[in-house]
Amino acid sequence: MNVKKENLIRSSLLVISVFILIYPFLFKAAFYQHIMIMVFMYGLLAVSWDLMGGYANMFSFGHSAFFGIGAYTSTVMLIHWGINPWIGMIVGGCLSGIVGVLISYPTSKLRGHYFAIATLAFLFVTKILLENWRFVGAAQGLSVPMVKESSLLYFQFHGSKIPYYYIMLGLLVLGVVLTKWVIRSRIGYYLRALRESPEVAQSLGINTAKYRLIAIALSAFLAAISGTFYAQYVLYIDPPSAISLHISVQVVLISVFGGTGTINGPLLGTAILIPLINLIGAWLGGAGRGIAFMVFGAVIVVMCLIQPDGLIKYFEGWKLSNRRENEAA
Amino acid sequence: MKLLEIKNVTKRFGGLFANNRISFDISQGEIIGLVGPNGAGKTTLFNCISGYYPPTSGNILFEGREIKNSPPYKVCARGIARTFQIIENFQKMTVLENMMVGAFKKHKYKGKAFKKALKVSEFIELSDKNFEYASDLSPPEQRRLGLGMALATEPKLLMLDEVMAGLTPKEIDEVLDLLRKVRDSGVTLIVIEHLMRAVMSICERIFVLDYGEKIAEGNPEEIAHDEKVIQAYLGKSYAQG
């Protein structure tokens, strides 16, 4: 790897980071800040999806259900028991992880399309359950109780989106760091091995069921974190907004567009597609929102035709050299 | 004590007896050949030992403990590794990463697994390809990689399913040298092989299967002159003549 290219990568990474950090002060309009917040939120969802769909080869259309579990858990705990949403976030994540583990048992023998269909069923079951469950607001949904003043402790800010911006950015960074750490550890190697060939993986001592389970649990946990943020950000949730096929499909498409099984790919995909949908939607207004999704679809179809491995494939050589590999070579 | 004991193992698929009451013992440090015509049940027996199929009846003991109903990953944890008849590896991972997956069984940390993979790679003479993707290797190199992945788990018993298929005579000699090196490092080997020259030159004992049954057992010299074996391979008329 030549030094010049490495410097270019380093400096562009630096510029992007600085840009993200000062973005809310460059773009003061709430709408532009909202777009970036959505980028971070979907970014975390896409990264969590990638862990399951990209690395463990479990194509999930049910991620919105985990997202919804996160949103509902923190909100229900806040409304009924007055528990702080930050704690609700962790509890929601854990609950979502447990649900993930539970659905992984009946689906453990399913592969490919069949697993995807099972996750779809899971999504609809969760949605119908919430629509009919009085305790959690049924079809009316739940409003997050307002606090009088903006408070970090209660995770509510009025009049400004900037705190939400940095909180979601922080959550995304934490999520990405955690996921990358897992992917680079033994678990990550095992998941990639499983994706390539479960038979060989078993012969090398990998308990396939166990590692599938770990991937689902972690993925569900991260998706739920994103969900709690959504509830606190919008302050109102109902089954169609928190648990929808729409969110699930969007997350899958974004990840496929960016390049699955890479973590960076889904992030790149979100950074491009989420602003695209929002900007086109706002520009055309009203019925134009429909056209935004047509453009969204078209972009993905084109990407699948010209580069099925996703946009990230074009940046394949853009890696900072690995210290250990240098030592070995 | 015997390392591996196969006791009356039968594997039935519907009406077909793929393995029929097969018994044999293997001691530590041997190189065993498992031969027989196509469809004789050699690979099925491997699958039974390594946990992919539960045997219909009979028993399999490894170091005196039953492994009959253990799943493959537990059998591997006990110290049995295997390779596959068709080339099987993780295509989108590099040579070293492929072997690290195996090495993680004994070394939980990445640094240590990496070092182990480096060592194995040197052992199987694939060091110059360490950072290439498995999919970019030639078929003989992929065969050697399969061997390396199994070795990285540090097995006591290594079962090789036709590692020499499709190799040139020169490459076969290289693999034979490699297998002797593996044996000298203390690993017991069972080798399924069609190439008689290869089997005869490295195996100390040979078991011959035909139609799911063990028809002969002995050293290479005995096997070469066994009437039943000649009959199985060349037909009745040769055996009589």
- Please provide residue A325's backbone torsions phi and psi, each rounded to the nearest 5 degrees: -65, -35
Residue A53 and residue A68: Cα distance in Å, rounded?
Answer: 18
Answer yes or no: is pLDDT of A329 > 90: no
Residue boundaries of the structural domains of chain A: 3-328
Chain A hits for B87, CB-CB cut-off 8 Å, are none
Cβ–Cβ gap A204/B92 under 8 Å: no
| C-beta atoms of A199 and B110 within 8 A | no
Arithmetic mean of pLDDT over chain A: 88
Q: Is A189 on the interface with B (CB under 8 A)?
A: yes
Work out the pLDDT band at A244, boundaries 50, 70, 90: confident
A169 vs A318, higher pLDDT: A169
For residue B113, how far is the Cα from the chain centroid? 23
Q: Which residue has the tokens 């777009």?
A: A35
Distances (CA, A) of B112 to A113, B95, B108, B130: 38, 16, 8, 16
pLDDT category of residue A327 using cuts at 50, 70 and 90: very low
**High-pLDDT (> 90) share of chain A, %:** 50
Whole-number pLDDT of residue B8: 92
How is domain A3-328 classified at the architecture level of CATH?
Orthogonal Bundle (1.10)
B235 touches chain A (CB under 8 A): no
**What are the boundaries of each domain within chain B?**
1-79+190-241
Residue B144 has pLDDT above 70, yes or no: yes
In this complex, do B101 and A190 lie within 8 Å of one another by their Cβ atoms?
Answer: yes
Q: Which pLDDT belongs to residue A328?
A: 45
Q: CB–CB of B73 and A207 under 8 A? A: yes
Query: What kind and span of H or E run contains B161?
Result: strand B157-161
Which of A186, A202, A328 is closest, CB to CB, to B73? A202
pLDDT value at B199 more than 90: no
Question: How many C-beta atoms lie closer than 10 Å to residue A156's C-beta?
Answer: 20
CA distance B63 to chain A (A): 18
What's the CATH number for B1-79+190-241? 3.40.50.300
Task: Report the C-alpha gap between A1 and A320 in whole angstroms.
Answer: 8
- Tokens 């080798």 — which residue? B191
Contacts of A108 in chain B (CB under 8 A): none
CA atoms within a 13 Å half-sphere pointing along the CA-CB vector of A1: 17
Looking at residues A32-59, what average pLDDT do you find?
92
What are the pLDDT digits (tens) for B217-236? 888 888 888 888 888 887 76
Q: Is the pLDDT of residue A29 over 60?
A: yes
- Residue B182: name the closest of B139, B149, B147 by CA: B147
Angle at A131 between CA A127 and CA A132, to 5 degrees: 125
What local confidence, expressed as pLDDT, does residue B62 receive? 93
Residue B154 pLDDT exceeds 70: yes
Contact A313/B at CB under 8 A: no
Closest-CA distance of chain B to residue A182, Å:
12
Give CA–CA dist A268/B40, Å, rounded.
54
Tokens of B21: 């009451």
Q: How confident is the model at residue A109 (pLDDT cuts 50, 70, 90)?
A: confident
Residue A71 pLDDT > 90, yes or no? yes
Q: Which of A184, A196, A200 sits opposite B92 (nearest CB)?
A: A196
Instruction: Name the band, by pLDDT with cuts 50, 70 and 90, for residue A119.
Output: very high
Q: B133: which DSSP letter?
A: B
Share of chain A above pLDDT 70, in %: 96
Render pLDDT for A122-142 as a digit per residue (tens, 0 to 9).
999 999 999 998 888 888 888
Q: What average pLDDT score do residues A91-105 get?
A: 93
Q: How confident is the model at residue A326 (pLDDT cuts 50, 70, 90)?
A: very low
Mean pLDDT of A205-225: 93
pLDDT bucket at A178, cuts 50 / 70 / 90: very high
Which residues of chain A make contact with B77, given a CB cutoff of 8 A?
205
Average pLDDT (B91-117) is 93
- CA-nearest of A187, A190, A193 to A218 is A187
Entry pTM = 0.87
Q: Which residue of A has its CA nearest to B96?
A: A325
Contact state of A196 with B90 under an 8 Å Cβ cutoff:
yes
Whether A325 shows a pLDDT value over 70: the answer reads no
pLDDT value for B239: 57
Instruction: Give how far Cα B110 sits from Cα of A180, A183, B91, B103, Å.
Output: 14, 11, 20, 9
Residue A69, pLDDT > 50, answer yes
Q: Does A118 touch chain B (CB under 8 A)?
A: no
The pLDDT value recorded for residue A321 is 57
For residue B82, the model assigns a pLDDT of 92
Residue numbers in A near B97 (CB within 8 A) = 189, 192
Name chain A contacts of B76, Cβ cutoff 8 Å.
202-205
Partners of residue B113 in chain A, C-beta under 8 Å = 186
- Chain B interface, best mutation among A180, A197, A200, A213, by max B CB count within 10 A: A200
Q: What number is the average pLDDT over the span B16-35?
A: 91
Cα–Cα distance for residue pair B176/B164, rounded to 1 Å = 9
Q: Output the pLDDT for position A322.
A: 53
* Distance separating the N- and C-terminal Cα atoms of chain A: 12
Across the interface, whether the CB atoms of B102 and A205 are under 8 A apart is answered yes
- Asked if B128 has any chain A CB less than 8 Å from its own CB, the reply is no
Q: What does the pLDDT read at residue B240? A: 56
Cα separation, A292 vs A156, in Å, equals 30
Whole-number Å distance between alpha carbons of B145 and B99: 8
Interfacial B residues in 199-228 facing A (CB < 8 Å): none
Task: Determine the Cα–Cα distance for residues B106 and B36; give it in Å rounded to an integer.
Answer: 35
| pLDDT at residue A144 in the model | 85
A204 touches chain B (CB under 8 A): yes
